[in-house]
C-alpha cells in the first residue's frame, strides 16, 4: 500500500497539534528547521504546511488527510470531509470597528455609508467569508442587491461593487482602522487585542476549531480508508483522553454498594477482591468535571485513591461502525 499523506499545520495550531500527536502515537520525531515529521508508523507520511493551504491541498488529492481550522475549510470552499473535531484552536471570527463609532453593527454601518455615498472598506484575511457575510446583510441587499463586494489584493480586484471593498490583510489586521479601513473581520479568542486597539466587536461571523479533514477519493480507496481510520481512532482516543480521569481506589465490602451507586463511570467500574478479606479494588474512568464533586463522597467511604490522566480512550466499536457506514 502507498503511504497515506498527512498535512499538519504550522503556526498558531502547531504547538497544540504536536501535543495531540504525542498522545496519539508512541514516537513523534521532528528534525529542527525541516517541515518533515516522522511517526512510528511508516505508512503515514507527515509534512507541515500553513493551515490556510491545507484544505485545498487535501481537496486536490495531494494529501489524503490534514489538520486545519474549520474556518479555512469554509474560506477556501474545499470539498473535503471534516472527519473529526479535535477540540483545540477554538476561535471566533468577528467584525469589529473603532469603539468611538456609534453604529450598532456592520449592517447599520453599511446603511449609513450607502446613504452618504461613502466607500466602506473592510480589512480581512477571509475574503470569501467576508463577501458571503456582507451579501446576506439586509442593508447590503437593500442598497446593492446581489452585487459582489469588490475584493482588493495587491495583484487583482474582483467584484463589481466599488462602494463596499474587502481589502486583503497580511496580518496585524487590528492595526488597520481607522486610517486605512473602516472595519475589520478577524479572528479572536478573548477579544483582548481588539480592546487594546480601541476596537469593539459588533458581529460574530462564525466559530471554529481544528478539524481532521479527509479527501473524498482517499476515503473510497479501501486500503487508504483503513489507514485513515487508524489515524481517526488514535486521534479521537487522544481527544477523549483529555476529558477523562482514570481512578483506582480501595473500599470495604460494607461500603461497596454505596460507592457504586454514587460513582459515575465511562462504562461499568471493574471490581476486584483484594488479598485482605472484606476489601475490594474499584477501577473506573470518569469525566474530569465530575472529579471534584466525587472527592467528598470518596473521602467518607473509600481509601487509597490513585488518579491519572489517560493517554487515550479508544472507542473501537464506535470507529468500527463509522467504517461500515
Q: Does position 82 have pLDDT exceeding 50, yes or no?
A: yes
Q: Are 52 and 72 in contact (CB under 8 A)?
A: yes
Is 199:153 a contact under the CB 8 Å cutoff? no
Q: What is the rounded average pLDDT of the residues 259-279?
A: 87
Residue 109, pLDDT score: 97
Chain centre to alpha carbon of residue 298:
35
User: Has residue 136 got a pLDDT over 50?
Assistant: yes
Place of cell 516522522: 38
Count of CB atoms situated within 10 Å of the CB of 295: 10
- Contact between 188 and 194 (Cβ < 8 Å): yes
User: Model confidence over 84-127: pLDDT tens digits?
Assistant: 999 999 999 999 999 999 999 999 999 999 999 999 999 999 99
DSSP for 9-77, please give it. Answer: E-STTHHHHHHHHHHHSS-EEE-TT-SEEEES-TTEEEEEE-TTTHHHHHHTTS-SEEEEEHHHHHHHT
Q: What is the rounded (10 degree) CA torsion for 179, 181, 183, 186?
A: -110
pLDDT for 317 equals 54
Give the pLDDT band (50/70/90) at residue 325: very low
The tens digit of pLDDT for each residue in 22-31 reads 999 989 998 8
Contact assessment for residue 66 and residue 51, using Cβ atoms and an 8 Å cutoff: no
- CA atoms of 298 and 281, how far apart (whole Å): 13
How high is the pLDDT of residue 323?
A: 46
Those residues with Cβ within 8 angstroms of residue 19's Cβ, 6 or more apart along the chain or in another chain: none
For residue 58, pLDDT over 90 is answered with: yes
More confident residue, 2 or 302: 302
Q: What is the pLDDT of residue 137?
A: 97
Which residues in the chain belong to E strands, given as ranges?
A: 4-9, 28-30, 36-39, 44-49, 65-69, 81-85, 91-98, 120-124, 149-152, 157-158, 161-168, 183-188, 199-208, 210-214, 244-252, 270-273, 279-287, 303-308
The structural domains of the chain, ordered by start, are: 4-87+209-241 (3.40.190.10), 92-208 (3.40.190.10), 244-308 (3.30.70.120)
% of the chain at pLDDT higher than 90? 79
Q: Which region among 48-62, 156-170, 253-267, 307-321 has the lowest average model confidence (pLDDT)?
A: 307-321
- Report, as an integer, the average pLDDT of 205-214: 97
- What per-residue confidence (pLDDT) applies to 190? 81
* pLDDT tens column, 176-185: 999 999 999 9
Taking residues 73-79, what's their average pLDDT?
Answer: 96
Question: What share of the chain has pLDDT > 70, as a percent?
Answer: 97
Mean pLDDT of the chain: 92
**131 pLDDT band (50/70/90 cuts)?**
very high
Q: Is it the case that residue 191 has pLDDT exceeding 80?
A: yes
Amino acid at each position: 500500500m502507498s503511504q497515506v499523506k498527512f498535512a499538519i499545520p504550522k503556526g498558531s495550531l502547531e504547538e497544540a497539534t504536536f501535543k495531540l500527536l504525542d498522545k496519539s502515537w508512541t514516537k513523534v520525531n521532528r528534525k529542527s528547521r525541516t517541515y518533515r515529521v516522522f511517526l512510528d508508523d511508516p505508512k503515514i507520511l507527515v509534512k507541515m504546511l500553513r493551515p490556510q493551504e491545507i484544505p485545498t491541498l487535501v481537496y486536490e488529492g495531494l494529501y489524503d488527510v490534514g489538520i486545519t481550522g474549520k474556518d479555512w475549510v469554509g474560506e477556501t470552499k474545499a470539498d473535503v470531509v471534516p472527519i473529526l473535531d479535535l477540540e483545540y484552536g477554538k476561535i471566533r471570527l468577528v467584525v469589529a470597528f473603532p469603539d468611538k463609532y456609534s453604529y450598532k453593527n456592520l449592517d447599520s454601518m453599511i446603511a449609513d455609508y450607502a446613504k452618504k455615498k461613502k466607500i466602506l472598506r473592510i480589512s480581512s484575511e477571509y475574503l470569501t467569508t467576508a463577501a458571503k457575510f456582507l451579501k446576506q446583510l439586509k442593508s447590503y441587499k437593500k442598497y446593492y442587491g446581489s452585487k459582489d463586494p469588490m475584493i482588493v489584493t495587491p495583484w487583482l480586484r474582483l467584484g463589481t461593487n466599488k462602494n463596499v471593498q474587502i481589502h486583503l490583510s497580511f496580518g496585524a489586521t487590528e492595526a488597520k482602522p481607522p486610517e486605512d479601513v473602516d472595519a475589520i473581520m478577524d479572528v479572536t479568542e478573548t477579544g483582548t487585542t481588539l480592546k487594546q486597539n480601541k476596537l469593539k466587536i459588533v458581529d460574530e461571523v462564525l466559530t471554529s476549531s481544528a478539524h481532521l479533514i479527509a479527501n473524498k477519493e482517499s476515503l473510497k480507496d479501501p486500503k487508504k480508508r483503513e489507514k485513515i481510520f487508524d489515524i481517526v481512532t488514535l486521534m479521537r482516543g487522544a481527544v477523549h483522553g483529555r476529558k477523562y480521569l482514570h481512578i483506582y481506589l480501595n473500599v470495604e465490602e460494607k461500603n461497596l454498594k454505596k460507592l457504586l451507586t454514587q460513582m459515575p463511570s465511562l462504562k461499568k467500574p471493574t471490581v476486584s477482591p483484594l488479598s485482605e478479606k472484606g476489601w475490594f479494588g474499584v477501577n473506573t474512568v470518569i469525566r474530569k468535571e465530575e472529579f471534584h464533586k466525587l472527592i467528598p463522597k470518596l473521602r467518607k467511604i473509600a481509601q487509597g485513591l490513585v488518579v491519572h490522566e489517560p493517554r487515550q480512550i479508544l472507542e473501537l466499536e464506535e470507529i468500527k461502525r463509522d467504517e461500515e457506514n
